[in-house]
Each structure stands twice: as C-alpha cells, then as structure tokens.
Structure 1
Amino acid sequence: GNGSPLFFIKSAPSLLSWIATSYGSLVFHRWGATKPLNFLCCPLLLNEAPAKIRTVMRKPKGILCRPKSTLCFAALLDPIIPMKVLVLALWLAASDAAFVVSKHANSRVGCSENSATQILASQPLQSSKFHHKHVTKHHTSRLNGVSKHVNGSAKQICSASYIARLIMGLEESLAEMGVTSETHENVLSSVESMALLIHESMSVPSRNYHAVHHVFDVTEGLDGTEHHKDPISVISALFHDVVYYHVDGGLSEWQQEKLHDCIRSGQLTEPHGGENGSAPGSINYVVQPHAANEIVEMVESIFGFQEGQHVDHSNGLNEFLSAVIAVQELEPFVPRGTLAEISVCIEATIPFRANNPETGKSCMVSLYERLVSTNDHFALGLSQDQMVRAVQRAAAFSNADVINFGTDDVVWFMDNAWSLLPESNLALRRKYLYKVQDYQSALFKMYRFLCFLQSDRIFYRFRGSPSPETIAEREANANHNLQVGRNYVGAKILSLSILSAFAELTGGDAPISLFVGDLPTRQLDDLALQHKSVKKVRMYPPITRDSSTSTIFDPKDSVDADVYNILWNGRHKEMAFDTRESPMAAYFYQVLGADEMIQILKDINVCPMTEDSAWELLRRLPRELIAQVAEMTAKNAVSRSDKIWTVMDSL
C-alpha cells in the first residue's frame, strides 16, 4: 500500500527464532485463549505452531492474519529506518489466541500503545470466542501475569506461562532495585537464564507441592503485610526452593554448574532411592573453607555453618544451596548487603524450629545475631535498622511459606498436606504400581509428623513483627488444623490397614490395584461402584452389636464434624494416587469414634503389617465392618477370593 517491503518467513518456528534472537524481550497479549501458549518461551515447544504460511495480507501500519486454521503474518518494515515498526499478530485457530510482539512497546516501535491496540482491534475476528482486552494503564504485579508499565513500556504477559511470570517477576524486582538494561548490560538475558534455571529446577517429576506454582503462592502469602511486593521478598520467593536435594534425588547438571564453587568432590553423596520406597534420606554437605569465593562464605556465615559441619536436608541443606545459587546469580547486579538480606529470607524458611535449648533464643534472634556478625566480617554496610528489618522481613517470608498451616480453611490445609506425599514417597509417584504397604507407610509417616508438630514451632516473629495478635490467630488455626489432620490421616490409616491385613494373610503385600481394581483412585476408600449414592448405601449398613461387650465408643463423644466431612465429602483437589472422598474411612471413623481409632493405632503396630498384627487388628474391630472390606476385596482380588473368606471364617 505505501511502498514498504513485505518481509516473509517460511515457517512459524523460524519466525519465532528470528524474533527471539533479534528482539530480545517479548511482549505477549492474550485474546481470550483457554489453552496455555508457551511455545514462544520454550524452544522445545516451537513445533506446536503450524509450519506453513498459507495466506498473507498486508495493510498500512499493521497486519492481518487470516484465515482461520492457518497461521498467517506480515511484517511492515520501514525502508528508511530499519525495524522502526514491527507489529506482528499471530492467530492460532486451535487455541483462539493472538500475540502482540515488540521490543520496547513505545520507545522503539513507530506507533503508540493505543494505535497498536487500535490496529489489532480494527481487524475482523474469525471466531466469536475472541474477546480482545485493550491495553490498560493500571499498575499490577507481573507475578500475576497481567499488564505492567515500566519506564514507559506497556508489557503484557500470558497469565498461564510460568516462565513469563518468572522473567517479569525478576525483571520488575531488579528494576525496583535500580537494575535495568540502561544501568547493566545484558541484564535481560541474565534474567531469562535465571528464570529458566528456576523453572527447570522446579518442574522435574519429583516436584508436586514444591513445583513452580509454589513460588507464586508464597508471594501471595505476603498479601496484607508490609513486605508485599517487596523486591527482596519476591526474589527470595523465586529462588528459595530451587534445590530440593532429598526429593529430586540429586542435583541437575545446571545446578551442579552453578554450585561448582560451593560443592566439592565428596561433599554430597551420590543420589539414591532411599529405604522402604522413601525419597533419598541423609544427604550430607561438609562445610569447607572457600577462600576463593567470599559469597559462599557469607552465606555459610548467615546460616551459621561451621567448618567441618555436616549438613543434610533436616537442618538446612536445601535452603543453603538454594541461597548460594540465588546470590551467585544476582551478584553482578546487586550489592552484597542485598544478597545477605536475600540469604536471610531463604534461611528463615528452614521450618519447624524450636528455641535453642541452651540459650532459650528463638531461631530469628539467632539469625539476627549471625547477620550482625556477617555484616561486620564482610563489611556489608548494613545499618542496624536495615538488619532488624531484614529479619522481620524474613519472619514474614517464612510464615508465608507455611501459611497453609495457619489457614481457617481446614480442607485447603489437607489439600496441601496431601500434595506433599508424592515428594517424600517415591512409590506414590508410580500411581498405578504402588503397593498397599507403600501407601500405608506414607500415611503413617505423615501421621507421626502431625502428632509431633506443635503449633508454636510453625510461625516465626522478631521484635514485634508480626503482631502477637496475628501469631495467636495463626497458631489457633494451626492447632485446629493439626488436630483435624491427625484424625483424618488416622482414619485413612485404619481403613487401609484392614486391606493390608487381608493382603498379608492371603499371600503377602501386592499392588493396591489387585484389591480395589483399576479405578482412577486405586485405593480402599473408592469401591468399585459407579455412583456415590450407591456407595453411601453400601457404606452404611446397620451395625448391630451387643453394647455390653462392645469396645466401640459412642461416636457422639469423639467424632469431629470437620474430620468426618472431609472424609465423606472429600478434599478439594484430586490426586493421581488417591481420591478426594474416603467413604470407608468416614464410616469407620463415625462408628468407632476418634478415641477408639487412636487407641487402636497405639495398641497395634500396623506398619509394617505382619501376620500377627494382621490377626490382632481384624479381631479388634467389629466383624460387620471387616465383612464389608472382605466383600469388596474378594470381588477384585479374584486370585485370593477363597483365602479372603477363609480369613473371615477364622475371625
């Protein structure tokens, strides 16, 4: 139309590669898409885009991409000032999405933000599913995946893309610290590298609760505090769980490369599968002098590690290695004092620490004293007020990391607890293959943990921050959640132990699918019945038992309504290895009551299940309850059906 040349690229992958290499930062804008589109960020997914361009239409000052079901584009280039204008629209009919891509939306492109929006908005849409959202001026967090104006540039990111959110979170936080592309060369490429490292580290199959979404949960947990959107808090959140050695079974090649100044031969053991199907256990890091790397020494000082000390995941290995990666990645851009404050935040996420038995000091007081010492030794230049604020920030940050314990939504608390199970139990990651005792063992470990944990070890405070009222409210909620959790897990253990007893007495432990069938849940609490209403009828037959000889407590005396409701109605989230609802456990809990259930678990060693404990458990419980499990189990375990009824005849 205006004599400008039309620039063609033969395939979508080459187009995207050209944009990425030529234009650096990408700007994304969603048009009502329902499918996450990550291929612009991830080279491995480039082949998701259609390979051929079938239609190209050119218009002055803009482009049009049509028709539906094809990828079409045209780029208008100024022949006098190369690359002055690049307004690119990609329409993907498969996902009903479009993107605007520019280098620096206002400063480098020869059209305003509004005109660029108008160009795209003026084009006829191919589908009624498209709902164009105009670029807005409001100031919102990049971590939430929406628009943000920085230095006059309007940038949009796809809310479904974790990589984009990581990049924008890092870039925004560094910008608030005065680190931009104008002050530091290649800062954007470094930010991208950091984001990809975080994303890779937290996207491995072993991660479930501590996957990428967790870093955004932590930042949301700071809502309502003075540290919300604090750049040090945000950066700490992004890095604090990069290393999870005992869950991941070792370090990735990228992590090893980043930790080469820290990890020496023999300091970390080879990854192993652990015992009894658990995740790797005692992994040791031996603290050694690092004369060539003061940054590592600084982090060791903040963590309080002494030369020759052995460190494993129980006393801060994961947090320490994550902090080392963070400070070494950020060292070219921020002063060491800021790096120390980030390390303090990450150190504070070592969970569930009691006061020092010798000095009586809290872990936050000890952390402050180590920060003061580190500040003096390494001449960090932090003032006393800065150090006090750093530890107060760290306390708030740590509390955000475990905020689910202090919630007043007990179902959400159980959802989070259940999502941790596959991380610490390798067998549960093999959702179709784990055995009865694998699941029983996993639940028993959680039960012991919930019985051990005290609410006064969960939330930290320092010099009045958070307020005593806030801590008291969270601890009260935590007390309730822990009590509900103990009874919930106890009921699950008891119902599963009955299945384990039948397995032990009829040929030994076997995959749980043998006994409950190939249902999506593959666990005791989901019987092979299609409708929940039918299950309720089958789960609640009349119980007739001579009260003079019964050991069953009156359910009205010891049944917690929250426990029963979660067992019967289910958690919010479905897990690959388990169902949300647990009707059999709910039935046992209602009939036996919490007191009798807890007493049975104290009296009988059900984990690991032995022949003697199997007989003891089955004879302890009402025969009517056992008969229902036997009936269900015999229908599925056809090879053991006769043996199951033989066991019933012996009770």
Structure 2
Amino acid sequence: MSNSKINRIIHIFSESFKQMSVDVPMPDIERLAILVHRAMENTTRKYHTADHVFQLCEGLRPRAQLAALFHDLVYYQLDWGFPQNTGALLNNICQLKNNEFTLPDPLPNQLVSMCAALFSFTPGGVLPPHGGMNEFLSAVVAVSLLKPWLPLSDLIAIAACIEATIPFRDDAATQQLAAQIHQQSRQLLGMHDVETYGPYVNEVMQDAISLSNQDVMEFAQSRPRVFLSSTWLLIEESNVPLNAVGAYTLQDYRAALLRMEIFLQGLKEKAIFHQYEQQPSNENLQHLQAAARRNIYFSCDFLAAKLTTIAMLEAIAMATGGDGPISMFLGDIRHSNGKPARAEDYLPEANTAADINQELLQIFDQGRSEEAALDLNASPVTAFLYRCLGHQGTLQAWGEAQKMFKGELSPQMFLKSLDPTLVTSMITACMHIALSRQTAMQALQNHLFHPDAIPLGKP
C-alpha cells in the first residue's frame, strides 16, 4: 500500500533536510510540500507531475532532491499563470511588457541576483519563455522559500541544479554553468583559492549533472513503448485543443503530432545527456546517447505512420466537405454504455507486407505502455495502413503526405498516390461512421478509382 502523493513529497522534504543536518519544523515542511503538490498536480499537466518528481528523486543526493522537487514548479505557459501562493513573490521579479516577461533593473535582492547570474540572465533583460524562464522562476521560488533554513552555499547549489534541467542544449551550457558557480562561490562565499572553490564547484556540478540526466532519462529507455508513452503525455500536455476529447479535429490532431515529429527530427542525442569531469563515464554517456538515438529514430517512424494515417483521413475529409472532429470519422474513443462503434471495426484483414518492423507493428496493435486520456492507446487504423504499405511504403507515403500539408499536392492527388485497396478500405470504413459524409465519400471513391463515373461534385 503506497502513501498519497502529498505525503510522499513531505517524506522527501523531511529526509533531504535530515541528511543535510537541517532542523526544519514539520509544519513548515508540510507548507512547502503542499505548494509543490498543488503545482505539480494541476489538471493541465500530463507529464510534468508529481510522479515525474518521484522518478527524478531516486538515487539523488539531498540538494539535488530539493532541486528536483522545485524544478518544474513554475510552468507559466502550461498552467496559464504562476503557481498558487507564489504570485506575490514572482510578480516583483518579472514584469509582463508587450507579451514578454522582463527582469527589473536593478534586481530586488541578492538571491534573485544570484539566480540570474547562474542562468546568465541580465537585469532588465527578457526572460526567454522556452529558454529557461520557467526554470529560473522555479529556482527563485526554491531559494526564497528555503532561505530560512539553508546556508547560501546550499541555495547556490539548488539553483544551479535547477538551471541544469533546462533541456536540449550543447555542452557549452554545462561549462558555462560551472563557470557561473565558480563566480558565485568567489563573490558570495568568499572562496578565492582553488583548494576551496574547486571541490565546491565539482560537488555542485556532480549534483547538477545527475539531476539533469535523470530528468531526461526516458530517452534512454530500453523499451520503445515506454518512451512513446512519455512522448504521448508531452503531446497531450502541450496541445490544449486535444483536451476537448471527441471534439478535437483531424487538423488539431495532425498539428499536435507534426510538432512533435519536427522536434524529434531536429533533436540530436548529444544535446540530451551531458557530462562533467567524467560523470557519467565516457562509456555510460555513449550508452545513453546511443539509446536516445534509437528511441528518436523509432519514434519518428512511429509518428510518420500515425501522420500518414491522419493525412489519409484529412484528405478524405477535405475532399468531402472539410475538416471535422476526428470522432466523426473514426468514432468515439470510449463510451459510457460500452464499446463504441469504430472505423477499424469495418476494415478488412490486411495482407502484411514483407518489410515491416515487428516491434513497431506490435505497438500499433497492442498500444503504448500506458493508457492515454485523450487518444486511443493502440492504433488499429495505423496498424492496417502499416500492414498494407510496409515500412518503406509507409515512409514513402509520409513524404507525399508532407507535400499535401505544404499545399504542393491536393487531397485527391495524395489519395491517388496511395494503394487503391488501402484507400478504398479506409473510405468504406469511414462511411460506416461518418453518416453525414456517406454520399460525398461514395462520390469521392468513384472519382478516384472509376474514371468513367460522374465527376466529383456533379449531380
């Protein structure tokens, strides 16, 4: 029997303080835990939740654990504002001007100045919304709330650990953080000789690198299904239209998947995991990076197949009346009165192509490792397409789909570029679900594959 999330957070706070030989009264620990719990369990969050924090804290030293508890506290764009009970603090630190948050000049106090220096932010400068703003504000909250009990050396370390969780940067960012810790140790802690600041900087950087790599450890998953589940939670979390389950459209869904596909295509494994002074070892770093590369490639193939399927459905929709709710064409994800009617129920058995990736097909058939709230876990329609086209055929069709998305290919021409049996099967299956499009879909099918039939749109 496991404890509630709030009590697990209280336990992590309590144990971290105990290991640091700091006596923090339990009512104050409870107050800190409630603040973190309330922020992390915001209903807008799907991935950056308390469960993510629990995974991070395993095996970390106490300063890194405290940083982990706070590192995602502020997520302004996702939460539509600052966490409850932090507004009074953060509104004095950043000012919203012309839809941009800027730092005041001068900065209000030493702790904010210290955090700004560690993050390489300048007084009066703009806080980059996707380049460290949330992490910086989380660090400011952390050190401000922990100041009554922790010495400045620990506060610098915690803020530095949070800075290290800014994801997907090159190795120069690691060296820059180490240099900033060195500078703060000299200015604020009076460490002026290498025998003093050297061990301190190294110890803080070891904690920072441990937290940073642990934060993205999903990329090193040995099971692609688990990595895909995390990827899907991020897709759901970062795409507000998908929260309207059953009402989001084909193009809403396509846009969400396409953003993730473009991101992963441009992501290099060397920007995911980092090293400082041989931590992790060269061998371990290479292992992590190789695993990340495999997961990225696998996920891109997965998304290519999903996007090719949605491109087919979108093309059918655009050729028969325009975009509409995805449930109008495929059926509801779930229903309170039992299993809903779904388009895949009307698809024929597919002859499986010779060049399929069995692991990929298994995920389409059986689903990712965790259920999703806003989408089916398995992908039966994509499984049908993948079996019909095979791996290379799917990737080739994905190339044609991208031309349609860019306006270089009409929906009808995209459908004509695909296997006729696949397209006919898909249209026929959708006709059983999309009652209002049945006549238009029959006309489309005639237009695509029966040249002598009445032209599309004619009486």
Instruction: Normalising by structure 2, report the TM-score.
Output: 0.90
User: What CA deviation, in whole Å up to 9, does each residue of 1:559-611 have, x standing for no partner?
Assistant: 32322221122112111221121122123223323333333333443675869
User: CA separation of 1:604/1:292 partners in 2, compared to 1, >3 Å: closer, same or farther?
Assistant: closer
The letter of the residue matching 2:430 is T
Residues 431-446 of structure 1: pairs in structure 2 closer than 5 A = 431-446=245-260
Name the amino acid aligned to 1:528: A
Corresponding residue for 1:177? 20
CA contact (8 A) 1:206 1:422 kept: no
User: Does 2:377 align with 1:580?
Assistant: yes
Supply the distance in 1 between the matched residues of 2:12 and 2:190 (Cα, whole angstroms): 26
What are the equivalent positions in structure 2 for 1:222-241 lying under 5 Å apart?
228-241=59-72
Whether the 8 Å contact between 2:404 and 2:414 is mirrored in structure 1 is no
Residues 193 and 392 of structure 1, relative CA distance in 2, 3 Å threshold: same
Q: Within 2, Cα distance between the matches of 1:339 and 1:445?
A: 37
Residue of structure 2 equivalent to 1:244 = 75
Contact 1:233 1:345 (8 Å CA) reproduced: yes
Secondary structure of the residue that 1:464 maps to in structure 2?
coil
Shift of 1:438: 0.5
Match of 1:256 in 2: 87
Structure 2 residue 302 is the aligned partner of structure 1 residue 488: yes
Q: Deviation per CA, 1:218-260, whole angstroms, max 9, x where unpaired?
A: 123xxxxxxx241111111111100111211222442212324
Determine if the alignment matches structure 1 residue 456 to structure 2 residue 299: no
**Corresponding residue number in structure 2 for 1:334:** 150
Q: Offset at 1:189?
A: 2.1
CA drift of 1:556 comes to 3.9
**CA spacing shift, 1:575–1:606, aligned 2, 3 Å:** farther
What's the offset of the Cα at 1:176?
1.8
Do structure 1's residue 378 and structure 2's residue 188 form an aligned pair?
A: yes
Q: 110, 114, 122: which is aligned to 1:306?
A: 122
Distance in 2 between the 1:393 and 1:268 partners? Answer: 37
In the other structure, the counterpart of 2:452 is none
For residue 236 of structure 1, give the secondary structure of its aligned residue in structure 2: helix
Tell me, in whole angstroms, the C-alpha distance in 2 between the residues paired with 1:256 and 1:441: 33
1:623 to 413, 417, 420: 420
Q: Which whole-Å CA distance do the structure 2 matches of 1:608 and 1:216 have between them? A: 40
Deviations 1:523-545 (A, max 9, x none): xxx99369xxx95x9453459xx
Shift of 1:515: 1.2
- Kindly report which structure 2 residues correspond to 1:357-506, keeping only aligned pairs within 5 A, or say none: 362-379=172-189, 381=191, 383-506=197-320
Q: Kindly provide the amino acid, as one letter, of the partner of residue 285 in structure 2.
A: I
Q: Which residue identity does 2:39 align to in structure 1?
A: S
Checking the alignment, whether the CA contact within 8 Å between 1:500 and 1:609 is kept in structure 2 is no
Contact 2:101 2:126 (C-alpha < 8 Å) held by counterparts: yes
Question: Mapping of 1:17-416 within 5 angstroms?
Answer: 159-181=2-24, 187-220=25-58, 228-264=59-95, 266=96, 269=99, 284-355=100-171, 362-379=172-189, 381=191, 383-416=197-230
2:331 matched residue in structure 1: 517
- What do residues 64-116 of structure 1 show as CA deviations (whole Å, max 9, x unaligned)? xxxxxxxxxxxxxxxxxxxxxxxxxxxxxxxxxxxxxxxxxxxxxxxxxxxxx
Structure 1 distance, partners of 2:98, 2:285, is 37
State how many pairs are aligned: 441
Q: Residue in 1 aligned with 2:445?
A: 648
Match of 1:508 among 279, 298, 322: 322
- Relative distance call for 1:596 and 1:542 in structure 2 (3 A) is closer
C-alpha distance in 1 between matches for 2:276 and 2:227: 25
Matched, 1:565 2:362: yes
Q: 1:291 to 1:244 in 2, by over 3 A?
A: closer
Closer, same or farther in 2 for the Cα pair 1:324/1:164, shift >3 Å? Answer: same
Report the CA distance shift for 1:609/1:366 in structure 2 as closer, same or farther (over 3 A). Answer: closer
Amino acid at match of 1:569: Q
Alpha carbons 2:320, 2:441 under 8 Å: kept: yes
Structure 1 residue 412: Cα displacement: 0.5
8 Å CA contact 1:505–1:647 kept in 2: the answer is yes
Amino acid aligned to 1:581: A
Which of 341, 346, 367 is 1:528 aligned to?
A: 341
User: Take 1:268 and 1:350, find their aligned partners in 2: how far apart are those partners?
Assistant: 24
CA RMSD of aligned residues (A): 2.3
Percent of residue pairs bearing the same amino acid type: 31
CA–CA separation in structure 1 for the residues paired with 2:405 and 2:443: 23
Bigger relative CO (Cα 8 Å, ≥ 6 apart) = 2
* Contact in 2 for aligned 1:302/1:344 (Cα 8 Å): yes
2:349 aligned partner:
540
For structure 1, the residue ranges without an aligned partner over 5 or more in a row are: 1-31, 33-158, 182-186, 221-227, 270-283, 356-361, 544-554
Matched letter for residue 209 of structure 2:
A
Alignment partner of 1:254: what SS?
A: coil
Q: Distance in 2 between matches of 1:214 and 1:255?
A: 21
- In 2: Cα distance, 1:164 partner to 1:519 partner: 34
Deviation at 1:287, TM superposition (A): 2.8
What does the per-residue CA deviation read over 1:120-154, in whole Å, with 9 as the maximum and x for residues that have no partner? xxxxxxxxxxxxxxxxxxxxxxxxxxxxxxxxxxx
Q: Which stretch shifts more, 384-393 or 637-646? A: 384-393
For the residue of structure 1 that corresponds to 2:85, the secondary structure is helix
- The whole-number CA distance in structure 2 between the counterparts of 1:572 and 1:488 is 14
Going from structure 1 to structure 2, the CA distance change for 1:539 and 1:213 (only over 3 Å counts) comes to farther
| Inter-partner Cα distance in structure 2 for 1:162 and 1:454 | 34
Deviation digits for residues 350-396 of structure 1 (CA, Å, limit 9, x no counterpart): 111124xxxxxx22111101111122222365731121121122111
Counterpart CA distance in 1 for 2:153 and 2:262 is 41
The CA deviation at 1:291 is 4.5
Q: What runs of 5+ residues in structure 2 fail to find an aligned partner?
A: 449-459
Cα gap change, 1:582/1:292 in structure 2, threshold over 3 Å: closer, same or farther?
Answer: closer
In structure 2, relative to structure 1, the CA distance for the partners of 1:539 and 1:232 (3 Å cut) is farther
Q: CA deviation at 1:200?
A: 1.1
Q: Does 1:635 align with 2:448?
A: no
Following superposition, the deviation at residue 338 of structure 1 comes to 0.5
Query: What do residues 197-218 of structure 1 show as CA deviations (whole Å, max 9, x unaligned)?
Result: 1111111111000111110011
Distance 1:309 1:608, change over 3 A: farther
> Could you say which residue in structure 2 is the equivalent of 1:92?
none
* Amino acid across the alignment from 2:65: V
**1:601 equivalent among 398, 405, 412:** 398
* Contact 1:504/1:611 (8 A) holds in 2: no
Q: Which has the higher helix share?
A: 2
The superposition leaves residues 53-73 of structure 1 with CA deviations (integer Å, 9 ceiling, x where unpaired) of: xxxxxxxxxxxxxxxxxxxxx
TM-score by length of 1: 0.64
